[in-house]
Structure 1
Amino acid sequence: MYTPVESPLVSLANYLAARREAILNNWRTACQNDPACNTMANLSREEFNNKVPFMLNVLEDRLRHLPLNGDIKVLAEEHGLHRWQKAYILEELLVEIHHINQMMLNELRQYWKLYPTPETERISESYEYLSWFYTLSINGSVEQYTDLQRIDASSRAQFLQGALNDLNEMTRQRGDLLRTASHDLRGSFGVIQGATSYLNLVEADEPERKQMLEMINRNLTTVREMVIQLMDLARLEAGQESVAIRSFNAGELLRSLIESYQPLATQKGLVLQADGPSDLEVESDPLQVQRVVQNLVLNALKHTDSGWISVSWARESDFRWLISVQDSGPGLPGNQDAGSLSQALAPTPESAAAFGFPNAEENAREEAVVQAPKSSKGEGIGLSIVKRLCELLRASLEIETKTGEGTLFRVRLLMRWTTD
């Protein structure tokens, strides 16, 4: 049997660190088996753990008598905010806190049975530290949660005013988008009209007439695409699109779809690559999923002059799967010109580490605002359609972009469709 050589509390801290993954897994299992916990079923491992690994780090620092690398109450407040955002009810939050503390209590009991010590005051001290952990974790989480409830109850008028402002802003942006589209349509019609008038000139020779006819055909195709996109967007905004949910093999659908675009990629000298499992059974609307990917791939093909386009898909967890479309194009500009689509869609990842390693990106949670470039071919309309389709599919849309290096669109979808 292993005999601790450090002081009992330091040895206990090392033991808890070695048991970290088991503690977190047992905690989740206990919550899954508790009928009072319902919302957590939709959370990934990282979302469920949230700030708890950081809180356990602080407890272990206390056991080692080291300077505390964090404040448990503050971390618990952030955890309470997270659970509020995930639509937990207060009872679920309290049950979760009870279970994590029960897991820690069981670990202490198990440790002192394995490694009894004559220093009974150290045993008593360890339970005092656990009580300190429990008190701060429940106070921080519940105080934050109840503060949010009070704010919500007292500020509904402000929320309604904010919603009205958002609606007005959406109306303005929609008007800007339609004005831009109208301008682009007028420009295309102007080219067509000018080329048609030129064809009526008697002195126009055959090569010039052929050139004008090609120009007319190109612009007629552009006009047709824009009108179709405007009609699609109008149907989505009017709520006239519906979903037909069924099980299907997403890997098979996506691979076949990407193969259909290979000739267009070859024509432009681009490498179009598909990566993902051949078998990925999901529940969604295959037609709407296909429309999302079509819009993103066509957008990448239009705006990437050289290099490659990568389309990949994977199961992210038991609850979600994702599709990513990445190109080596010019990237999206950071400014927000009127009439183009701008979205604060930069991802804010959860910490994936059981030990709660610091994640500057997550802690800062800085929103990266990206904007689709203007295009006479209606790129802004296409991205508006993608966003609306994602809302229809209960999917999230994230954008990462870097000027001169390309853009990544990531769509997260449900593995199984849940009824409201």
Structure 2
Amino acid sequence: MTSSTNDFNLQRKQLAAYLAAHQEIILNYWRMTCAPDEALQEGAHLSGEELAGLLPLLLTFFTRGIAGENQENELVDSLCQHQIHRWHYSYSLENLLTEFDNFYTGLDTEIQDFLKEYPQTRPGIIVLAYSQLRQLVKLVNASVVLPVDQLRQTRADGQVKILQAALDRLQQKNNQRVSQLHQVAHDMHNYLGIITTATSLLQKVITADDQAKYRDMISRNVNAATHRLNQLLTNAQAE
């Protein structure tokens, strides 16, 4: 039993060491699979080294799990901070998922190459490797993909609120304009009513004092109507 356990532990460490030694191969595979993708190239605002900065951390987490070593809790925080940084550079969630998928494929390819090179590998090691790969995917989804998606949703909600606020301001301005036009129409109706009445009275036989009074009424209301219209034109030009 002890010999079997020792052999299992030896093989798991052997696989972990193999993957760690092939880190550059895995990263190069990732780079080559991402390079033809125009969407990834257009969406990436960071340099190639910064873009690949997250993957060695993921590989370390993965190989430590296979080797049975403690996996640093700080890694999760590093993942989140790294992706938040990239999110500020508008790296889309779709590109992020494609990038991780290419990385997982690179890991799977290296595991398959290891099994070809070491065909005597225990089935339990194979199960362990893919169990750790599932854990890695869960870690990335929980610590990176979900927070980034939430950030995007928060950003979208913020944009909706900004748009709604702009629409509310526009509606308020339109309401004010309609109210102003109603008031202008009401005032003009009053002015024209007085002018019409005074003009009609001037056509009758009246005293000189009454004529002067009615002419003054006409003059004052014409001036008031002119001033009101000028105000309306000034406000329209200001908008």
Q: TM-score per shorter chain, which class?
A: 0.5 to 0.7
Mapped contact 1:39–1:88 kept (Cα < 8 A): no
Residue in structure 1 matched with residue 122 of structure 2 by the alignment = 119
Structure 1 residues 60 and 159: alpha-carbon distance in aligned structure 2, compared to 1, 3 A threshold: farther
Mapped contact 1:81–1:145 kept (Cα < 8 A): yes
Shift of 1:41: 5.5
Measured on the aligned residues, the alpha-carbon RMSD in Å equals 2.8
Shift of 1:64: 1.2
Shift of 1:15: 0.8
Matching of residues 137-176 of structure 1 within 5 Å = 137-156=140-159
Q: Which has the higher contact order (CA 8 A, sep 6+)?
A: 2
Mapped contact 1:80–1:141 kept (Cα < 8 A): yes
Mapped contact 2:12–2:66 kept (Cα < 8 A): yes
Shift of 1:99: 0.5
Structure 1 residues 49 and 130: alpha-carbon distance in aligned structure 2, compared to 1, 3 A threshold: same
Mapped contact 1:83–1:93 kept (Cα < 8 A): no
The one of 103, 107, 110 equivalent to 1:107 is 110
Aligned length: 157
Mapped contact 2:45–2:89 kept (Cα < 8 A): no
Shift of 1:29: 1.6
How far apart, CA to CA, are the structure 1 residues paired with 2:30 and 2:43?
A: 12
How far apart, CA to CA, are the structure 2 residues paired with 1:118 and 1:23?
A: 21
How far apart, CA to CA, are the structure 2 residues paired with 1:58 and 1:113?
A: 24
Deviations 1:181-213 (A, max 9, x none): xxxxxxxxxxxxxxxxxxxxxxxxxxxxxxxxx
Shift of 1:72: 5.2
How far apart, CA to CA, are the structure 1 residues paired with 2:151 and 2:114?
A: 38
Residue in structure 2 matched with residue 88 of structure 1 by the alignment = 91
How far apart, CA to CA, are the structure 2 residues paired with 1:102 and 1:149?
A: 26
How far apart, CA to CA, are the structure 1 residues paired with 2:54 and 2:121?
A: 35
How far apart, CA to CA, are the structure 1 residues paired with 2:24 and 2:65?
A: 20
SS at the partner of 1:102?
helix
Shift of 1:157: 9.2
Structure 1 residues 102 and 118: alpha-carbon distance in aligned structure 2, compared to 1, 3 A threshold: closer
Structure 1 residues 36 and 158: alpha-carbon distance in aligned structure 2, compared to 1, 3 A threshold: closer
The structure whose residues are more often helix, as a share, is 2
Residue in structure 2 matched with residue 416 of structure 1 by the alignment = none
SS at the partner of 2:40?
coil
Structure 1 residues 128 and 93: alpha-carbon distance in aligned structure 2, compared to 1, 3 A threshold: same
Gaps (5+ residues) in structure 1?
161-420
Mapped contact 1:58–1:68 kept (Cα < 8 A): yes
The aligned amino acid for 1:110 is D
SS at the partner of 2:15?
helix
The aligned amino acid for 1:132 is Q
The aligned amino acid for 2:113 is Q
TM-score w.r.t. length of structure 1: 0.34
The structure whose residues are more often strand, as a share, is 1
The aligned amino acid for 1:96 is E
2:25 is aligned with 1:18:
no
Structure 1 residues 146 and 159: alpha-carbon distance in aligned structure 2, compared to 1, 3 A threshold: same
2:3 is aligned with 1:30:
no
Residue in structure 1 matched with residue 224 of structure 2 by the alignment = none
Mapped contact 1:58–1:71 kept (Cα < 8 A): no
Identical amino acids, percent of aligned pairs: 28
The aligned amino acid for 2:154 is I
Shift of 1:5: 11
Mapped contact 1:5–1:11 kept (Cα < 8 A): no
Gaps (5+ residues) in structure 2?
1-6, 164-239
How far apart, CA to CA, are the structure 2 residues paired with 1:7 and 1:95?
A: 34
